Amino acid sequence: GDSVTQMEGPVTLSEEAFLTINCTYTATGYPSLFWYVQYPGEGLQLLLKATKADDKGSNKGFEATYRKETTSFHLEKGSVQVSDSAVYFCALSDRGGATNKLIFGTGTLLAVQP
């Protein structure tokens, strides 16, 4: 079945460092891809999304490009801040099945130190 694999954490960076969190997927159809962020003690918030191959999603300085050839959707940010410390989840949506179920990766904890 469909699945999402993302790099294990925690990822610890200094402020202003470059961030990459890897995400690859397996899907039989043409899923939409998402990055969700979860701040401590809160629910999940949509960070960015891409609905078709070569689309780039972006928000709050974060970017991810839907790469069909490598089945990847890596999250990047050029300069992280302490406030970016959170758990980041990569997910795909089973749009082909018409149920829109999200399949999540296990999450990557990002800790940014001042």
Partner 1 sequence: NAGVTQTPKFRILKIGQSMTLQCTQDMNHNYMYWYRQDPGMGLKLIYYSVGAGITDKGEVPNGYNVSRSTTEDFPLRLELAAPSQTSVYFCASSWMDGNTIYFGEGSWLTVV
- Residue numbers of the site for partner 1 (CB under 8 A)? 4, 32, 34, 36, 42-46, 49, 51, 89, 91, 93-95, 98-102, 104-107
Burial 10-26 (b: 16+ CB within 10 A, else e): ebebeeeeebebebbbe
CB of 74 to partner 1, least distance (A): 17
Q: The tokens 């406030």 sit on which residue?
A: 83
Residue 79 half-sphere exposure toward CB, CA atoms < 13 A: 1
CB of 84 to partner 1, least distance (A): 19
Please say which residue, 73 or 93, places its beta carbon nearer to partner 1: 93
As beta bridge partners, residue 59 has: 62
Please say which residue, 19 or 48, places its beta carbon nearer to partner 1: 48
Please say which residue, 18 or 39, places its beta carbon nearer to partner 1: 39
